[in-house]
């Protein structure tokens, strides 16, 4: 089983967001997409989910476009950066929205919601009004919603997260990755866009480094997170701390051309 993207190219107004990208997402794995702003990370997730059509995308060798939407939603879940919701639903009601693709009945759905709430540590948020929550609290509820969507098929599900930890404090980042590791241990394929390279190094089994819509490097953290790759991708010099399979990255300086641009034009 796998979710496979082949030859994905996508452009808007002559701007190439993806250029012949190939990516295979395997079960029981945590995959991180890293790269600078505009590298194509979000676009690649949108292609993987079937939201955008680019190249060929197959789920267990079946073209995703040929899979009925309900069946696809029970196997592939995608949490975007911004999940706008302005209605005063309670947290558990938002989480329960993940059950929309299922026809499993109220009692069964409530049991799933309760399991997700417990596994994700959302008990204190479940009864609160969603619109009164902080950005990080809303994000935690949205993670629960996405998990409810595929909870019946965790051993065959593909969960896509776009910058899921951006609004989370340190403790809830760790809680989130504990959940991600639990999912992978149950057979789920989890793919995340991350800006924190050290989080990618610590938790990802596989890292895909994107630059200008193309894959620069792909593989285990120690193979991808080299000084040369990071300098080419982010224009930053780094020290690589540790010699194990999950290196710790410490930035030492920004490239001279970026520094000169900031000095001339300001940080914005």
Q: What is the CATH number of the domain that holds 65?
A: 3.40.50.300
The pLDDT of residue 260 is: 55
Q: Which residues pair with 59 in a beta bridge?
A: 3, 62
**pLDDT class of 241 with cuts at 50, 70, 90:** very high
Give CA angle at 135 (129, 141), nearest 5°: 55
Strand-pairing partners, residue 222, are none
CA dist 64 and 76 (Å) reads 10
Work out the mean pLDDT of the chain and round it to a whole number: 93
Output the pLDDT for position 255: 58
Integer CA distances (angstroms), 24 to 8, 189, 208, in order: 12, 10, 10
Q: Which percentage of the chain shows pLDDT scores above 90? A: 88
User: Can you spell out the DSSP letters for 72-127?
Assistant: HHTTEEEE-S-----S--BHHHHHHGGGTT----HHHHHHHHHHHHHHTT-HHHHT
Q: Give the distance from CA 18 to its chain's centroid.
A: 17
Predicted structure pTM score: 0.91
The answer to whether 133 touches 102, Cβ cutoff 8 Å, is no
Calculate the CA 135 to chain-centre distance.
17
pLDDT tens digits, 43-80: 999 999 999 999 999 999 999 999 999 999 999 999 99
pLDDT at 100 over 60: yes
Counting other chains too, the contacts that 117-120 makes at CB distance below 8 Å and 24 or more residues apart are 117/92, 117/144, 119/147, 119/179, 119/182, 120/144, 120/147, 120/175, 120/179
Q: Which two tokens stand for residue 98?
A: 């993940």
Phi, psi of 155 (to 5 degrees): -80, -5
Whether 267 has a pLDDT exceeding 80, the answer reads no
Number of domains the chain is built from: 1
pLDDT bin (cut points 50, 70, 90) of residue 242 is confident
Cα separation, 25 vs 82, in Å, equals 24
Owning domain of residue 12: 3-265
Predicted confidence (pLDDT) at residue 26 exceeds the cutoff of 70: yes
């Amino acid at each position: 089983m796998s979710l496979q993207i082949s030859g994905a190219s996508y452009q808007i107004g002559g701007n190439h967001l993806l250029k012949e990208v190939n990516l295979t997402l395997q079960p029981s794995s945590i995959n991180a997409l890293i790269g600078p702003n505009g590298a194509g990370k979000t676009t690649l997730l949108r292609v993987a989910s079937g939201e955008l059509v680019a190249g060929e995308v197959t789920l267990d060798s079946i073209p995703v476009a040929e899979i009925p939407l309900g069946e696809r939603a029970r196997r592939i879940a995608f949490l975007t950066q911004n999940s706008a919701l302005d209605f005063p639903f309670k947290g558990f009601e938002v989480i329960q929205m993940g059950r929309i693709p299922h026809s499993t009945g109220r009692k069964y759905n409530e049991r799933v919601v309760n399991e997700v709430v417990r596994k994700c540590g959302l008990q204190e948020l479940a009864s609160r009004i969603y619109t009164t929550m902080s950005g990080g609290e809303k994000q935690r509820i949205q993670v629960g919603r996405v998990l409810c969507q595929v909870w019946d098929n965790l051993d065959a599900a593909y969960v896509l997260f776009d910058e899921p930890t951006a609004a989370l404090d340190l403790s809830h980042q760790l809680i989130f990755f504990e959940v991600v590791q639990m999912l992978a241990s149950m057979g789920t394929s989890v793919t995340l866009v991350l800006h924190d390279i050290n989080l990618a190094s610590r938790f990802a089994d596989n890292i895909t480094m994107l630059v200008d819509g193309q894959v620069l490097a792909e593989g285990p953290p120690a193979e991808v997170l080299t000084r040369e790759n990071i300098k080419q991708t982010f224009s930053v010099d780094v020290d690589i701390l540790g010699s194990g399979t999950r290196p710790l990255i410490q930035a030492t300086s920004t490239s001279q051309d970026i520094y000169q641009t900031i000095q001339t034009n300001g940080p914005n």
